[in-house]
Amino acid sequence: TMSLHGKRKEIYKYEAPWTVYAMNWSVRPDKRFRLALGSFVEEYNNKVQIVGLEEESSEFVCRNTFDHPYPTTKIMWIPDTKGVYPDLLATSGDYLRIWRVSDTETRLECLLNNNKNSDFCAPLTSFDWNEVDPNLLGTSSIDTTCTIWGLETGQVLGRVNLVSGHVKTQLIAHDKEVYDIAFSRAGGGRDMFASVGADGSVRMFDLRHLEHSTIIYEDPQHHPLLRLCWNKQDPNYLATMAMDGMEVVILDVRVPCTPVARLNNHRACVNGIAWAPHSSCHICTAADDHQALIWDIQQMPRAIEDPILAYTAEGEINNVQWASTQPDWIAICYNNCLEILRV
């Protein structure tokens, strides 16, 4: 375990050689302060770095860097808190890629392409890795579809490539581009997921009954919805935000189409949302106004006027991630910097 708590430093900072966009915490028990970062460079050649906090020096160090075509729209470690699966990392961009991480290098294990019959690939806007069943991933695409992938991580002797994937199901989820997808913990946590997109709607699906979906919310002005995020403790609640929007809308699936709360203290467009992993009533929002705000939504449906905690970064915050295995740490990224904050 890290001896950080003895030092009680509140902020650790890492500077990457490029603008950081995608970012995610590892959840492996033996890799506590490890994150993956994706570059945002407007060209084909991009990078992913794996960084870790060194216990002795309390400094972030880059453990390894590897090439990635196009910027990663999302990056996520396998949600394997017990460390029983291989140490895998997934990235989305032109395709969904699964990488195997070792101490010295990161190797591409498989590239998942859902459009086998065409040279054209519709970029993937996002993906989610199912926490209950890490052999399931879902991707969202600008071609209006969501694809659910089955992953095989069996240890096969005599074969080098031990990870493979196949399409379990592909569905047209929206009338326009789909921008985000997220599995819900409801009903066992395996079959329910929701998506948001350019048609301004939040839709919910059940893998067991794909013939229909439920529209949970529609943006009144039909603005595209960019992100959605399920409450980690109470699967009735989710948060979403519109393109160029300065507020985050909290929804209750039991009361469709009527937000139960609006968090609107940001002074510029919101870029990221992260629910607390350990509490059903705390959520962090981050925006172009350099602010990361933590809100207590306990008094819903009464209006929530002000955040309970505010942090001001030195730049527009692109992304925020709350560490699921270490709930007192939040990571943000802005410009070329990653910061982890003790909350």
Query: Is 60 exceeded by the pLDDT of residue 275?
Result: yes
Q: What is the pLDDT of residue 162?
A: 75
Check residue 7 and report its DSSP letter.
H
Query: Is 60 exceeded by the pLDDT of residue 2?
Result: no
- Identity of the residue numbered 190: R
Helix (H) or strand (E) holding 6: helix 4-7
Mean of the per-residue pLDDT values of the chain? 92
Query: Is 90 exceeded by the pLDDT of residue 107?
Result: yes
**Four-residue CA torsion sign, 292, 283, 178, 247:** negative
d(CA 55, CA 67): 27
pLDDT in tens, 26-83: 999 889 899 999 999 999 999 999 999 998 888 999 999 999 999 999 999 999 999 8
Query: Is 90 exceeded by the pLDDT of residue 201?
Result: yes
**Four-residue CA torsion sign, 131, 136, 137, 140:** negative
- State pTM to two decimals: 0.93
Residues 6+ apart with CB under 8 A from 163: 86, 88, 98, 100, 109, 110, 151, 152, 153
Among candidate residues 152, 174, 173, 172, the one with its CA nearest the CA of residue 163: 152
Average pLDDT of 270-296?
97
pLDDT in tens, 81-99: 998 899 999 999 999 999 9
How far is the first Cα of the chain from the last one, in angstroms, to the nearest whole number? 19
Residues 6+ apart with CB under 8 A from 31: 52, 87
Q: If pLDDT is split at 50, 70 and 90, which confidence band does 163 have?
A: confident
